Amino acid sequence: MADGYDAMAERYLAWSALSPSDARIRALELADALIPAGTDVLELGCGAGLPMTARLAIGRRLTGVDLSVEQIRRARANVSGATFLVADMTELERPPASLDAVVAFYSLTHVPRDEHAALFARIRTWLRPGGLFLASLGVEDDPGTVERDWLGVDMYFSHFSARVSRRLVEEAGLIVEQADVIAEPEDRFDARFLWIVARAPAGPVPQP
């Protein structure tokens, strides 16, 4: 995945950031509205930082994480005032109750689905009480496949059905406030995503 996003950096930027779909714009506006200024935000799979990261970094302490060295290089050039890390989100460590929001736009579908439950559980520990989790997840059952020539590269995808994905988020201890399936244009055909808005409950944060 890292090599793929390195190789297609320019094409991905033109496709996703310079002409974002209506669904991407709605997701960004929702995140911007729900995450207060002055808060600590983690973006999992930040890409080149446009337009999502750049908008959310305004007035917030944002850290962006991505596997791709080239995407992070571009993000650092495109977004001032944010912190960026080249890292695998499934191996990322954060202090408990250190974040007000975790967002993941179109990145979790690249994570092997058997690792989703553990990742959601860690996200729960990172969030302060009332903290926000906003992410796009898969809708169809896919144990893990490689799509050939996706934006010019072979790309891995893996996800559960929308019903199972929502259940895993809830089992991690997060309270789901919204769960909407939205279709949008993809590389060669429309794709559907489950958009989840969830919050950490009040009370003590579980220990990792």
Structure tokens at 107: 């990145």
Distances in whole angstroms, Cα of residue 84 to Cα of each of 127, 132, 145, 204: 19, 20, 29, 29
Ordered per-residue pLDDT tens for the chain, 208 residues: 666 565 566 666 666 666 677 888 899 999 999 999 999 999 999 999 999 999 999 999 999 999 999 999 999 999 999 999 999 999 999 999 999 999 999 999 999 999 999 999 999 999 999 999 999 999 999 999 998 876 777 889 999 999 999 999 999 999 999 999 998 876 566 789 999 999 999 877 776 6
Domain residues of the chain, as ranges?
Answer: 2-199
Task: State the number of CA atoms in the 13 A half-sphere of 34 facing the CB.
Answer: 23
- Class of the CATH domain delimited by 2-199: alpha beta
